[in-house]
Structure 1
Amino acid sequence: METANKPVAVVTGSNKGIGLAIVESLCRKFSGDVVLTARDVGRGESACAELLRQKGLKPVFHQLDITDDGSVRRLAAFLQSEYGGLDVLVNNAGIYVLAKCEKSPAEKARITMETNFFATHRVCQVLFPLLRAGARVVNVASGLGRLSKVGNESLQEQLVSPQLTESDLLGMARDYVAAAANESGDTAPWPADSAYSMSKVFLIGLTRIQARDVTAARPAHSILINSCCPGFVDTDLNEHRGRLTVEEGAETPVVLALLDKESPSGQFYKNTQVCEW
């Protein structure tokens, strides 16, 4: 098969916005195929057709709904069959429930955490076994996921503890969702009505654990896993209130997707530079 062992990059949630800009940039800079993914087949195929028509770029399309285990496993099977592995994974898919939405804080927390954290975690569980030596993983987070957003110092200490396991983190995330569902409105010790921020806090925390554990399990493979803030970008997610273009928002994720082997792993980046969580 012609594509077997050919390098391949996957960008989740990439039929529009920052994800589409990441695909476009990787099509120009990455030395292999770039897989554009979308929940809706029509929108995904249309995005690929537009890149070909307008830019002469040829991403590969594959359907992916990160909240659907079957969809994630079909993507994994495709990558295994067509490429024999995976070289770049950009976890870009995510949602933001607008304040004007009539959903309760509890429902906002459940929906946001399910997509931005739990589903992304499951994507990693399924696709990480495919990562080849030298692979790069980029978890697109946010400046709103800074540790200070947690507030509670004890929780902050737990989140940065080098002994924190993936299972521990998942438990903390479930505790947050349960606290947000408290009918009294008391979410202590977690902050109130901050689902998007907390989903990104947990995603950055997950990145740190993934980098530590993958390096320990595969020390000679130079697999780098980092998270980043793309900046306040003009997208549907924020009703186009962002100041940056999608191309500017794609810059840091693309830099991380193409890092050289001497670069750090488990870090949080902004403006292409490591910064404090």
Structure 2
Amino acid sequence: MTTKKIAVALEYAIVKGLCEKFEGLVYLTARNEERGKASVAKLKELGFSPLFHQLDIKDQPSVDRFKEYIKTQHGGLDLLVNNAAIAYKMDATESFGEQAENTIAVNYFGTLRVCNALFPLLRTNGRVVNVSSSAGHLSRIPSVDLRAKFSDANLTVENLNKLMEKFVKDAKENKHQQEGWGNSSYGVSKVGVSALTVIQQRIFDKEQPNRNISVNSVHPGYVDTDMTSHKGPLTIEEGARAPLYLSLDSNLKGKYVWFDSHVVDWYGASAP
């Protein structure tokens, strides 16, 4: 007899919380179909009714299939929580350049790929929650010049993409610290997600007709998950509180929110 492994992950608790409080259908998506279905089965044992769909945010055909499924089956969606991400362990043997390329490809460009596909399907008053990190605070970028570029009020998605691509290039050439990026590919990827959130909100605010869409980024806290090697002090339920607040109860727009659900100045000199 084999036992299907349940990933100890933040998205499990977020989906559980949405099933408890959201008046509508809730999808859990996962790159690994077996593990995703196992998580859904576990939630069903607890009396909830989530649905599953395979989704690999790094794979455009997978994203396209999910988009067409949602469009065909439901016509649109009211809430999108972008939580998928990777993080290399401290003892990873891959070169920093490889780590940077893969981390940015998933955490930043993968998130952007899903947003580009699903944003047209968002209904009026829809909400988007981009799961960032304390590492995604602007102060994590050492370079004053780079921070100015990220915080530019006229920064576009295209130019943000170029910043992310430059980081990967610098990392591959072993110039990332010299160029002021610091030494965390995960951190740069999450700064990118936080900056993307600000741009996305600006775009939604200007669209006509206006759908009153809100986009916020959130640091869920240091959570006890497989990704953190179970070193985080917060339970997955505690880590899900702020994402659920932004999903269901908040009227915030374009903000960077801490795990206790209070707004943090993303542009500030330091994170809390």
* TM-score using structure 1 length: 0.91
Offset, 1:16 = 4.3
Distance 1:16 1:120 in 2: 21
Q: Give the unaligned 5+ runs of structure 1.
A: 1-13
Is 1:241 aligned to residue 231 of structure 2? yes
What secondary structure does 2:218 align onto? Answer: strand
Question: 1:118 corresponds to which residue?
Answer: 109
Change (3 A) 1:187 1:220: same
Question: 1:51 corresponds to which residue?
Answer: 43
Change (3 A) 1:259 1:220: farther
RMSD after superposition: 1.4
Question: 2:270 corresponds to which residue?
Answer: none
Question: 1:10 corresponds to which residue?
Answer: none
Preserved contact between residue 217 and residue 254 of structure 2 (Cα < 8 Å): yes
Offset, 1:186 = 5.3
Offset, 1:264 = 2.5
Offset, 1:46 = 1.2
* Deviation string, structure 1 residues 58-91 (Cα, Å, up to 9, x no partner): 1010001111111111110110011100110000
What secondary structure does 1:191 align onto? Answer: coil
Preserved contact between residue 227 and residue 267 of structure 1 (Cα < 8 Å): yes
Distance 2:92 2:130 in 1: 26
Paired letter, 1:75: F
Preserved contact between residue 38 and residue 44 of structure 1 (Cα < 8 Å): yes
Q: How does 1:78-93 map to 2 (within 5 A)?
A: 78-93=69-84
Question: 1:99 corresponds to which residue?
Answer: 90
Change (3 A) 1:208 1:123: same
Question: 2:200 corresponds to which residue?
Answer: 210
Paired letter, 1:266: G
Offset, 1:218 = 4.1
Preserved contact between residue 169 and residue 202 of structure 1 (Cα < 8 Å): yes
Aligned residues: percent identity? Answer: 40
Question: 1:269 corresponds to which residue?
Answer: 257
Q: Give the unaligned 5+ runs of structure 2.
A: 1-5, 267-272
Is 1:73 aligned to residue 61 of structure 2? no
What secondary structure does 1:238 align onto? Answer: coil
Q: How does 1:153-168 map to 2 (within 5 A)?
A: 153-168=144-159
Is 1:35 aligned to residue 27 of structure 2? yes
Preserved contact between residue 77 and residue 122 of structure 2 (Cα < 8 Å): yes
Paired letter, 2:37: E
Paired letter, 2:23: S
Distance 1:255 1:143 in 2: 18
* Deviation string, structure 1 residues 230-254 (Cα, Å, up to 9, x no partner): 0000011111000000000000001
What secondary structure does 1:33 align onto? Answer: coil
Distance 1:49 1:236 in 2: 19
Say which of 165, 175, 179 aligns to 2:166: 175
Change (3 A) 1:171 1:231: same
Offset, 1:15 = 6.0
Q: How does 1:241-260 map to 2 (within 5 A)?
A: 241-260=231-250
Distance 1:41 1:251 in 2: 26
Distance 2:52 2:120 in 1: 21
Offset, 1:144 = 0.9
What secondary structure does 1:236 align onto? Answer: coil
Distance 1:273 1:219 in 2: 30
* TM-score using structure 2 length: 0.92
Paired letter, 1:276: D
Offset, 1:44 = 1.2
Paired letter, 1:269: V
Preserved contact between residue 220 and residue 242 of structure 2 (Cα < 8 Å): yes
Distance 2:37 2:164 in 1: 34
Distance 1:45 1:157 in 2: 43
Offset, 1:24 = 0.2
Distance 1:143 1:73 in 2: 31
Question: 1:11 corresponds to which residue?
Answer: none
